[in-house]
Amino acid sequence: MCRHLAYLGAPISPAELMFAAPHALLVQSYAPLDMRGGGSVNADGFGLGWYPELGGAPQRYRRQSPLWTEQTLPALAASVSTTAFVAAVRNGTTGMPVTEAAAAPFTDGRWLFSHNGVVRGWPGSMAGLAKSLDVTELLTLEAPTDAALLWALLRARLRDGADPLAAVTDLIAEVEAAAPGSRLNFLLTDGTTLIGTTWTHALSVRSAAGGVVLASEPCDPDPAWTPVPDHHAVRVTAAGVELLPLTLDRSTNS
């Protein structure tokens, strides 16, 4: 499975967590410690999405190559100062394409989204849910992958004005019903709220005075890292960090 992380808080450089930390995302691309569900490296692309200091829509940099071969992003990430970002390295599911468009984070308006996991029975298991989308949405998916379809389903809810946590919870419930045993770890942010989920996969949270990090694996040996229990959501806002159980009855706990 992929590795991803997200940050919300005081301005920092994404390079701190992507490249400088002892177990940075770069290290997790070639030496991950908790690859559940198959795979040993995350070599099928990477991406970084961040919010400019002056506001506006997030910026994004993605490539289909392994992060450890990348020459441009280390300096680019070091030059950025941002209050929120999402970064990911991809281990593509067998049968799905290795393209830049398949790499997280996905974006729409103010939103950044990443999926770490797999939808069981893809693509047939998702046919029923896909019917809820406009045909144009289906024909213009960024990539023919489970993550891209999950993002299309989620952003449709967000565009309709759904509460972000409710939208995420509803989607997980529907996908689990259609494709039992799927791994559905999400990261979603609009730059002011950050939501992460654990659904049959690992996620850890580190909360410090300056900001909050959610990551597939801790980026350093800091004892402040706390594993998030399975089937839970983490919601991060200016008010603090909430740990909320995810239930299949679509309870939003909000």
Query: Tokens in use for 185?
Result: 């770890």
Of 1, 2, 88, 203, which is the active-site residue? 2
- Alpha carbon separation from 240 to 5, 43, 63, 112, 212 (Å, rounded): 18, 34, 33, 20, 9
Return d(Cα 27, Cα 175) in angstroms, integer: 31
Return d(Cα 220, Cα 52) in angstroms, integer: 26
**Sheet with 232-237, edge to edge strand ranges:** 106-108, 111-118, 183-189, 194-198, 232-237, 240-245
Specify whether 2 is catalytic: yes
- Alpha carbon separation from 102 to 11, 16, 47, 81, 93 (Å, rounded): 28, 25, 10, 26, 11
Backbone conformation region of residue 33, classed left if phi is above 0, alpha if psi is from -120 to 50, else beta: alpha
Residues forming the active site: 2
